[in-house]
Amino acid sequence: DQQVKQNSPSLSVQEGRISILNCDYTNSMFDYFLWYKKYPAEGPTFLISISSIKDKNEDGRFTVFLNKSAKHLSLHIVPSQPGDSAVYFCAASAWMQGAQKLVFGQGTRLTINP
């Protein structure tokens, strides 16, 4: 039962253009959403988050959009840079059985082409 899904395993974008990474979830209990970035042989790095009471959060080149009715969120990176090439994980948070839990998607490998 995949509660958080990233349906695109990979994405290739030209440098300077916009990268859009998508994520869908099924559990209405999720109340906080996060994006992590991961380079090979390193741990995931927190990138940006959004509370379920908001529909947009922006931090520099990164913007996360949340559509609660569609249970969908997206991460926009603009302009895309070569250093953005990494695997991006979407994660959703909820209190379950007395503890905060993060549920991760499978990840999307983003490649920025010069």
- For position 56 contacting another protein by CB under 8 A, the verdict is no
What distance lies between CA 86 and its chain's CA centroid? Answer: 12
Provide the minimum distance between the beta carbon of 114 and another protein in the complex, in angstroms, as a whole number: 26
When binding is defined by CB under 8 A, the residue of 12, 18, 28, 31 that contacts another protein is 31
Decide if 80 contacts 14 (C-beta within 8 A): yes
Q: Count CB-CB contacts under 10 A for residue 99.
A: 7
Phi, psi (rounded to 5 degrees) for 82: -55, -35
When binding is defined by CB under 8 A, the residue of 46, 55, 59, 67 that contacts another protein is 46
- For position 30 contacting another protein by CB under 8 A, the verdict is no
- For position 88 contacting another protein by CB under 8 A, the verdict is no
Number of shown-chain residues binding another protein (CB under 8 A): 28
Q: How far is CA 36 from CA 92, 98, 105, 114, in A?
A: 11, 24, 10, 23
Residues that bind another protein (CB under 8 A): 6, 31-32, 34, 36, 41-46, 49, 51, 89, 93, 95-107
